[in-house]
Amino acid sequence: MDNEPQYVDLGLSSGKLWTTSNLGAEESNDVGDYYRFGETESVSNVPYKFTLANGEYSKYHKDGRRHLEYEDDAVTKKYGLRWHIPTILDFFELKQTCELKAFPNGVLFISRVNGNQLFLPSDGNPKTIRYATAGVENDENLIRVFMFGGEVSYEYGVGKLPRDSTFLVRGVGYPEKVEHQPYMGHEYVDMGYGFMVAEKDFLSDSTLSAGPLFWINDKGQLCQLINSESQGNVKYKKKGKESVILLEEDIIRQNWKGEWRIPTQREFAFILSICHIEFIWLDEKQSKCAYKLTSTVTGNVIYLHIDMGQNSSEDCSCFQIKYGTSTLCGDKWHTTITNCSGRSSEEILVLGLRYKFDACHLRPIFRKQ
C-alpha cells in the first residue's frame, strides 16, 4: 500500500507492530496532530463530532459500544484496516516488554526481546504525556487514556478524561496474514496470543450456520440434543466445586483429535476481551444473526451465532448467544450468558453459569505456544 506507515517490530508476544511516529508527525520525535475520541480528522474549531443538543453523545453512549469502530479510527482511516489506535492491552504489552528511558521530550522504549526501540514524544509538558486508546469507560462520558507521569520515573497507568479532550495518537498494526494449512482437517482462525479458534461451530456445516446444541445430563454426560443420545462421557469430578472436563472425556478432542478441545471459561472470556464485537445479520431475510468478533491483535474474524427467541418479532427481538465451556461447577457449567431485547454488543462479554440441562453450542480451540 502507498500509505503503509513506517513501523518497528519490538518482538511483542501478540506479534503487533508499532508505527514509528504519531499521526501528523514527520519524524519520530515530533508531536504531530491532536485528535478527539472517534474523530478521524485532527482537532479544529468545529464542535465535537458526537455531541448532541442535550449534552449526551450520539455514539458510544448507551448503545453498548465500548471500542472504536473502524470508521471512527483515525489510524485506520490513514493507513488501512491493518492499523488502528492502540487498546489499553497494547500499551500494557508495550510497557511489559520494554525498558523505559525518560527524556525531557518523551519516553524511549527499548525491547527486552530484540533491542529495537520506540519513542513516544511529549506534548511539551514533561510531567504528563497522554495518548489516546480505543476504549470508552463504563460511565460513557470518559475515555481511557494511557498516561506517563513523572520527569524521571515516568510511571504509567490508565487515565480517564472527558471524551472531547485532545490527545496524541500513535498506531499499532497487525502483521501480514500468514497462510496456514488446516489442523487435523479443520480450518481455524488465529485470534492472537496463541489462541486458534475453529472457523465454525463443532459439527456445523458452515461458518454462517450454528452447530448443534449440547447439554449435560443427570449422569454428567455431554450429550447432543437429539433424542438425548450420549455423545461423550463427561463426569463431575468435584461436585459443588469448579472443575474442568478431562481431555480424555472432551467430545471435541474425541472427534477432532490433535490438540482440539472445548475452551475453558477463562480462555473464552480472554478471547472475547481482545475482540471488537459487532452485531450483524447473516442473510437478507434477517432470519439469521451473529456477533462478528474481530481480533484487535490479528484482525482476523470469527462469528458466534445467536439463537433468536420464540418471542422474536420485527418490533421486539430476543437474542440469546449460548456457547459452552469446559468449566463445570456442581450441577452447572460456565457458558456465555445473553438475554437481551436489543443488539448490544456489550452483553456478549458476560460469562456465567447455566444449569447442566441448558443446551449450548460448542466452538473448538487449540493453543499454539
Give the rounded percent of residues in the chain with a pLDDT score beyond 90: 32
Instruction: Tell me how long the chain is.
Output: 369
What does the pLDDT look like over 186-201, one tens digit per residue?
Answer: 999 999 889 999 999 9
| pLDDT (average), residues 56-76 | 82
What does the pLDDT look like over 243-300, one tens digit per residue?
Answer: 888 888 889 999 999 999 999 999 998 898 888 887 778 776 667 888 888 888 888 8
pLDDT score at 217: 64
pLDDT band at 208 (very low <50, low <70, confident <90, very high): confident
Of 120-124, 203-207, 301-305, the one with minimum mean pLDDT is: 120-124
Of 80-94, 220-234, 328-342, the one with minimum mean pLDDT is: 220-234
Residue 348 to residue 279: CA distance in whole angstroms? 10
Of 64-73, 110-119, 166-175, 303-312, the one with minimum mean pLDDT is: 303-312
pLDDT band at 143 (very low <50, low <70, confident <90, very high): confident
pTM for this entry: 0.63
Taking the CA atoms of residue 230, residue 262, residue 350 and residue 291 in that order, the dihedral angle to the nearest 10 degrees is -90
pLDDT score at 220: 59
Sign of CA dihedral 204, 208, 213, 214: positive
Residue 148 to residue 130: CA distance in whole angstroms? 6
**Pairing of β 83-84 and β 17-19:** unpaired
Residue 320 to residue 358: CA distance in whole angstroms? 12
pLDDT score at 5: 93
Map residue 86 onto helix, strand or coil.
coil
- Read off the C-alpha cell for 46: 468545529
pLDDT score at 368: 87
Residue 39 to residue 191: CA distance in whole angstroms? 27
Cβ neighbours of residue 227 closer than 8 Å, sequence gap 6 or more: none
Q: Give 348 or 185, the one with higher predicted confidence.
A: 185
pLDDT score at 199: 95
Residue 140 to residue 275: CA distance in whole angstroms? 19
pLDDT band at 114 (very low <50, low <70, confident <90, very high): very high
User: Looking at 6-164, which runs of residues are DSSP E strands?
Assistant: 7-8, 17-19, 83-84, 98-103, 106-111, 117-121, 128-136, 142-149, 155-162
Residue 18 to residue 188: CA distance in whole angstroms? 26
Q: Which of 92-106, 182-196, 223-237 has the highest mean pLDDT?
A: 182-196
SS (H, E, C) 90-110: HHHHHHHHEEEEEECCEEEEE
- Please, where are the H alpha helices in the chain? 74-79, 88-97, 251-256, 265-273
Map residue 271 onto helix, strand or coil.
helix
**Pairing of β 332-336 and β 195-198:** unpaired
| pLDDT (average), residues 28-49 | 91
Residue 206 to residue 321: CA distance in whole angstroms? 17
Q: Which strands sit side by side in the sheet containing 319-320, from one edge to the other?
A: 275-281, 289-295, 301-308, 319-320
Per-domain boundaries in the chain: 7-173, 188-367
Of 84-93, 115-124, 214-223, the one with minimum mean pLDDT is: 214-223
- Read off the C-alpha cell for 355: 444449569
pLDDT score at 158: 65
Q: Give 115 or 301, the one with higher predicted confidence.
A: 115
Question: Cβ distance 306 to 320 under 8 Å?
Answer: yes
pLDDT score at 225: 54
- Mean pLDDT (the chain) is 80
Residue 297 to residue 17: CA distance in whole angstroms? 10
In the predicted structure, residue 81 carries a pLDDT above the cut 70: yes
Q: Name the residue type at position 276.
A: H
- Read off the C-alpha cell for 106: 518523551
Question: Cβ distance 355 to 337 under 8 Å?
Answer: no
pLDDT score at 70: 82
SS3 content of the chain, % helix, strand, coil (to 5): 10, 35, 55
How many Å from the N-terminal Cα to the C-terminal Cα in the chain?
A: 31
